[in-house]
A and B are shown apart, each in its own frame.
Chain A
Amino acid sequence: MEPQQSLRRRLQTLSKCVCDGARLMVGQGDYAAYAAHIRQTHPDQAPMSELEFFRNRENARFGVGNTSGFRCC
């Protein structure tokens, strides 16, 4: 059973990696990592909700004054 489980674990890791990669390509970082980071380093603050985080990242990519959404030729 052992090798099968580890294969499954690996496939899960891979699919998470692909999904995270695809999201980051369009400027959406990892929400779970963000929330964990805030809870750990700023226990007094409430992290943004998942939706707020999504909007925040959308604006950070293309929003006013920001050029990081600029693509190459």
Chain B
Amino acid sequence: MGTAIGRHGPWALVGALGAAALAIVASQRGETINALWIVVAAVCVYMIAYRYYSKFIAEKVMRLDPKRLTPAVRHNDGLDYVPTNRGVLFGHHFAAIAGAGPLVGPVLAAQMGYLPGMLWILAGVVLAGAVQDFMVLFVSMRRDGRSLGELIRAELGTVPGIIALFGTFLIMVILLAVLALIVVKALAESPWGTFTVMSTIPIAMLMGVYSRYIRPGRIGEVSILGFVLLMLAIVGGGSVAASPVWGPAFTFTGPQLCWMLIGYGFVASILPVWLLLAPRDYLSTFLKIGTIVGLALGIAVVAPHLQMPAMTKFVDGTGPVWAGGLFPFLFITIACGAVSGFHALISSGTTPKLIANEADARFIGYGGMLMESFVAIMALVSACVIDPGVYFTMNSPAALLGTTPETAAAAVTKLGFATTPEVITQTAADVGEHTIISRAGGAPTLAVGMAHIISSAIGGKAMMAFWYHFAILFEALFILTAVDAGTRACRFMVQDLVALAVPSFKNTTSWGPSIAATAIAVGAWGYFLYQGVTDPLGGINTLWPLFGISNQMLAAVALTLCTVVIFKMKRERYAFVTIIPTAWLCLCTLTAGWQKLFSADPKIGFLAHAERYATAAAEGKLLAPAKNAAQMDQIILNDRIDAVLAALFIGLVVAIAGFGIAACLKAWRADRWTALETEPRLAAAE
């Protein structure tokens, strides 16, 4: 009894503190609330979940065995399989899963207020996201660190394996398009940002040459060199933007930037890796980790107040930032901070090959995802500390706001968030931009929020423009790294898929298939990018939900695999651990997919939107943004392609869920263990 109090007492206090913080956050009405309450509530939830729920999963569901040899120990080759210190491996895993997703999703979700987003981030990570990462890591670790595709093929069958491979390719295409769109939206009409981001290319090449020929292998040295040059580029960007000659030379429209990015993606993914990709990877990785730590310190020191209400009236689905009601679209919009299917690819990638002891999987898998969720909470805080008037000015489509501060202020005030043209002009001037109207995509909003927080700690208002462009650079840098690394990955996937029909296509060393596969990969995401850039509703409106659906759907696929494995281990009494999140994700993605297809509201449904344009075209009328009949046809075609994609995603979820249920039933009827783990005999310590 005494020991039970000793063991659980401190955790009861953490629980009480968390509950109190949540109560304060949830009950505050009409006044602004300090962001620290949100942070405290989140950290307490994470601690309790880690201490109790992840322990339950580790001990009861997985029965992790510290004595069992991991792939790193059994196959130790000093290269791919290396037993690694768990702190070091945690850093590696976190750096691989953290990206733009947890930063952008919560910013967009802020249109419904901070409360719905915060609650989903917390509940989602504890019950779904961290469970998925941890379970997939476990499943892969028990199978020599094999990849998600191989695991699905082995445990569910060849057909589900091929379906999953094809699905992953589609998801990757949408992901790359939406990431590139975020960069385009952030850099359009912004000479300062464009100059800074463009200068990362020569800086990375310089670093590449340095670490190839001058001082090979000195990552620290070359990264510091690169960082200093980057800071100079940000400062230089300010002068470039102010110059009457260079300013206009670096001012590009969205479509121009779109073509540049497509060309860049093509070239970057066939250049030698040491020249561009590897050195930029150093910069983006270290800058990302540094900025996340900096933002956490900034929030702790500044303790900003949230200006956004707890809930806005847009929970009914009439919001300007993205269309659709709270269910299911909030759960689609906040993808990565709560649950992200992409993590299943990382958890079955390099990480399981490096785990020294099975028991470490809990800290790395579950703990790593909690950390990612915390990044999402910080992004939500950053979006909510800025004036809601400014938030809606930045994130509403141009079709609603017009293009001048006067029309924008009037439109946003009419939405119910009072603002003035002076505030809009002043904010743009503070961050060193021409305009902040309709800068959708999340990145500029996050950058304003971060600049607001960091400049309160360092540099004051005079430094705000610097911090804004620092934040833009930080996001653009790792998005671009993801774009070239992702295009390469896509290219190999195309080669794998085509090789199913034409085996010679798989030859990755010959030029023909490589260039053809790269062109297919770039063409695929480039198409959706162009469609997004020219969309009158800002593109994010169309592409982000598709991305969210695809990402959550991949999570549902990964969790289905985990459920099947639990059944095959004859531990079905614990299967609720993965069945609950799987069912919830299937419900969200299927409802959202269905609405994207068949909703009668043209803002939500692709087919309804196509129908509206088709009717107008038949009557010979033109609807904005189309300027001629050909553009009308293009919009109709785009809608129909998006609809086909949504239908494919639905088909994929249904197919995998069907195969999953069949596999579970079969395993349930079997009278013995049927999971295909590496034999314990081989894995037993000697």
Contact A73 B220 (CB under 8 A): no
Q: Is the CB of B97 within 8 A of A72?
A: yes
Residues of B at the A interface (CB closer than 8 Å) are: 76-80, 82, 84-85, 87-92, 95-101, 175, 179, 216-217, 219-220, 273-274, 277-278, 281-282, 285-286, 289, 335-336, 340, 342-343, 345-346, 349-350, 354, 478, 481-482, 485-486, 488-489, 492-493, 508-509, 547, 551
Contact A62 B78 (CB under 8 A): no
Pairwise interchain contact B92-A25, C-beta atoms closer than 8 A: yes
A17 and B85 contact, CB distance less than 8 A: yes
Q: How far is the CA of A63 from the CA of B278 in the complex (A)?
A: 10
Alpha-carbon distance A63/B166, docked complex (angstroms): 22
Instruction: Point out the residues of chain A lying under 8 angstroms from B220, CB to CB.
Output: 19, 22
Q: A20-B85, A26-B278, A62-B281 are in contact. List 9 more A-B contacts (CB 8 A).
A: A17-B88, A22-B286, A26-B285, A29-B78, A47-B78, A54-B217, A55-B274, A56-B79, A67-B489
CA distance A63 to B270 in the complex (A): 10
When the two chains form their complex, are residues A26 and B219 in contact, meaning their CB atoms are under 8 A apart? yes
Say how far A2's CB is from chain B's closest CB, in angstroms: 25
* A23 at interface, CB cutoff 8 A: yes
Cα distance A37–B344 in the bound complex, in angstroms: 30
Query: Which residue of chain B has its CB nearest to the CB of A70?
Result: B489
| Minimum C-beta distance from A60 to chain B (A) | 7
Q: By the criterion CB–CB under 8 Å, are A33 and B78 in contact?
A: yes
B489 lies within 8 A of A73 (CB): no
Count A-side interface residues using an 8 Å CB cutoff: 42
The residue from A17, A51, A62, A67 contacting B273, defined by CB atoms under 8 A apart: A62
- State whether A65 touches B492 (Cβ < 8 A): yes
29 contacts between A and B (CB under 8 A): A17-B85, A17-B88, A19-B220, A21-B87, A22-B219, A22-B286, A24-B88, A24-B89, A24-B91, A25-B96, A25-B285, A27-B281, A30-B82, A38-B78, A50-B217, A51-B217, A54-B216, A61-B281, A62-B278, A62-B281, A64-B509, A68-B350, A69-B273, A70-B486, A71-B486, A72-B346, A73-B100, A73-B179, A73-B340
In the assembly, what is the distance between CA of A73 and CA of B481, in Å?
A: 11
A24 contact set on B, CB distance < 8 A? 84, 88-89, 91-92, 354
Whole-angstrom distance between the alpha carbons of A47 and B98 in the complex? Answer: 34
**Contact across chains for B79 and A72 when beta carbons are under 8 A apart:** no
| A64 cross-chain contacts in B, Cβ below 8 A | 508-509
Residues of A within 8 A of B349 (CB): 68, 70
Chain A contact residues, CB within 8 Å of chain B: 17, 19-30, 33-35, 37-38, 41, 47, 50-51, 54-73
Cβ A37 vs Cβ B76 within 8 A: yes
How far is B91's CA from A58's CA once the two chains are assembled, in angstroms? 18
- Given the complex of chains A and B, what is the CA–CA distance between A73 and B343 in angstroms? 9
Contact between B492 and A72, CB atoms less than 8 A apart: no
A58 to chain B, nearest CB (A): 5
Q: Are B551 and A73 in contact (CB under 8 A)?
A: yes
- How far, in whole Å, are A66 and B289 apart by their CA atoms in the complex? 24
CA distance A70 to B281 in the complex (A): 10
Interchain nearest-CB distance for A57 vs B (Å):
7
Chain A residue with minimal CB distance to B174?
A73
Chain B residue nearest to A36 (CB atoms) is B78
CB distance from B66 to the nearest CB of A (A): 21
| Cβ–Cβ < 8 Å partners of B85 in chain A | 17, 20
B-side contacts of A34, CB under 8 Å: 78-79, 82
What A residues does B88 contact at CB under 8 A? 17, 20-21, 24
User: With A26-B219, A29-B79, A50-B217 known to touch, is A58 a contact of B340 (CB < 8 Å)?
Assistant: no
Question: Chain A contacts of B493 at CB under 8 A?
Answer: 67
